Chain A
Amino acid sequence: MTARLFLTTALGLMALATCIGCGRRGAQTPEQMQARIEQLQRERDQLRARQTEMVTKDRRLAGMPDNGVRVGVPTPLARKLVQRVLGGFVDSVTLTLTHLKVHKAGTVKKVVSIGEYELNVVIDEVTGKLKTGEAVIGFGGDQITVALPVRLVSGTGDATIDFTWDGKNVSGAVCGDMTITQKVSGRVKPANYSVSGGVLLTATTRQILASPKFPVVKVKLKVEPSAESWAAVQKILDEKGGACGFALDKVNIPGVLEGLIGKGFDVRLPTEKIKPMAVPVGIAPTMTVRGQPLTIAVKVGHLAITEHMIWLGADVALGEAATTDSVRRE
């Protein structure tokens, strides 16, 4: 290398190295940068203290677990979700009973037995629709309480009445065997119920599960036959005179029907069928790195329910990647 070439190279390198310090921040000198750093450090310390003071005052952070990953669901949001889900669940419930059979048999006497009867009512189908009011949901003390007004709003029923008369003795000559079959229909009487229970939260390694817990709730479907149906039954009864009329009067079919159907049919609400609902934020079981899944080991910490937040804490550790290509090329 000639002296001239060496000199040129050396001067170039010198200029280059000097540029590292000079070429930044609008040609600030190190002293200027140092002064600015000191000024910013003072401001930073004040701001950090102020921020921490204000963050720790946030009531939502009270009771927060002490883990590497924390998920907090504010209770106003949880309330909204539970109300929507319970509403959505109950409002979509249709109670349907089919082929219910009620039976009554007896003997009609006028001094002696004049005949025997059997009244069979087959409820072909009765349905009822439920609707909820707004659920009242309480949070705190690590539990969630729910009070849910439920209304049986509408429904219909169809039944077949089958009356059989087996005349005896004297009356048998006058009113022998008789069969009356009549279809009737009606509506389900509206009714209100109050359902009280809670929501049990359990934390798994992946999510918080909210399981509604309610005691057994029975809804009574009371069917009220329509005026047309009563009129049709009455017309048949009115057509029967004499001994048969007497027998039918004694049996009092409308009264028996009211007794049989009017007390209603119990249907148990399948609250156990409300599946646990995953709170929609949790820790994913894997993450993808370079196209390969990487398992995440999760150790669930404390689950806390406060007035303001539902907190789940967890410690996580990444597993081994199932890949041999350890370098990403772009």
Chain B
Amino acid sequence: MKKGHVLVCLLGGCLAAGCGRAKSGAELHAKLVLLEREVDGLRASVTKMERGEPVLPDEAVVVSIGEGVAKQFIDAQLPFMIEVQSYRIEMTKAEASFKGTPSVTLTGSIVHKDHPDFVGEVRAIGALDSVEVDSASGTLRARIAVDHVDLLRMGGLEKILAGQTLDTLARTVRKQLTDKIPDVQIPVKVEQGIDLPSVTQGPVRLKGASMPLAVSVADVLANAGNLWIAINVVPGEMVRPSPAASPAVGSRK
């Protein structure tokens, strides 16, 4: 065997060992991230309940979404593509797991724009976060906060990293993903007012009115495969149109 070949074999062996360890480390890290988030969520929820507080606020409207349904809502936003530096990342699959924390895992591909033949596999682990009532549509929506990004399979990308470590790339992807993942829409509509129509003819006359409702997400809980969203609904004072107002009484502002 030539000296050069020995060197190649030696380096190849070292790289394989490094990759094997890296994969193991990445897997462990992903697992750890998921577990830490879940345990944090569980601790907060159990501590609250042990203090005697209700699971969800007593007078809050409760919306429960199963994992399968949530997956549909997330899938609806897929695939989506983002560009990070010279890489194009396309997320194509989603998994939702609501046990202690509303975890979401997205997987997809990563390619270098100048080397489309090298297709790696990327995974983003995070959770549904900042659940809120969209004031314009009245529907619920949530952000996906990304905790961790793995490059599961390099697919040749390691040949063109150009001095950048996988970790740096993963970290860059993670930072940019959070802001670029589309919000998850949860098509549960929360009205922001109740209208009473007016009656202006006949022996009984009714002055139309509207009762505004202040709605806001009070709490979120993930348990046994369900995402529980507690929504505070606070009725306001009846608002009646002034006598000079148009006949369209009862319309909500």
Contacts and interface: CB of A to CB of B under 8 A. Distances in A.
Interface of A: 3, 6-7, 10-25, 30, 33-34, 36-37, 40-41, 43-44, 47-48, 50-52, 54-55, 58, 60, 64, 67-74, 76-77, 80-81, 84-85, 88-89, 92-97, 206-207, 267, 269-270, 273, 275, 277-278, 280-289, 294, 296, 309, 316-318, 321, 326-330
Nearest to A319: B76
Contact of B199 (A7, A16, A55, A270): A270
A64 B28 CA distance: 38
Contacts of B209: 88, 92
B76 A321 contact: yes
A328 B182 contact: yes
B16 to A, nearest CB: 9
A74 B57 CA distance: 10
B165 interface: yes
Contact of A85 (B61, B138, B161, B196): B196
B35 A19 contact: no
B167 A280 contact: no
A137 B111 CA distance: 62
Given A48-B99, A294-B76, A280 B191 contact: yes
Contacts of B137: 284, 288
A25 B29 contact: yes
Given A6-B4, A77-B60, 5 more contacts: A48-B100, A74-B62, A77-B233, A95-B204, A288-B137
Contacts of B80: 327-330
Interface residues on B, range: 35 or more
A85 to B, nearest CB: 6
A6 B54 CA distance: 64
Contacts of A30: 21, 24-25, 28
B238 A326 contact: no
Contacts of A25: 29, 32
A58 B81 contact: no
22 contacts: A3-B7, A7-B7, A14-B11, A16-B158, A16-B165, A17-B19, A17-B158, A18-B18, A21-B22, A24-B26, A24-B167, A40-B32, A44-B35, A44-B38, A48-B100, A51-B49, A55-B55, A71-B64, A94-B206, A96-B204, A289-B76, A321-B76
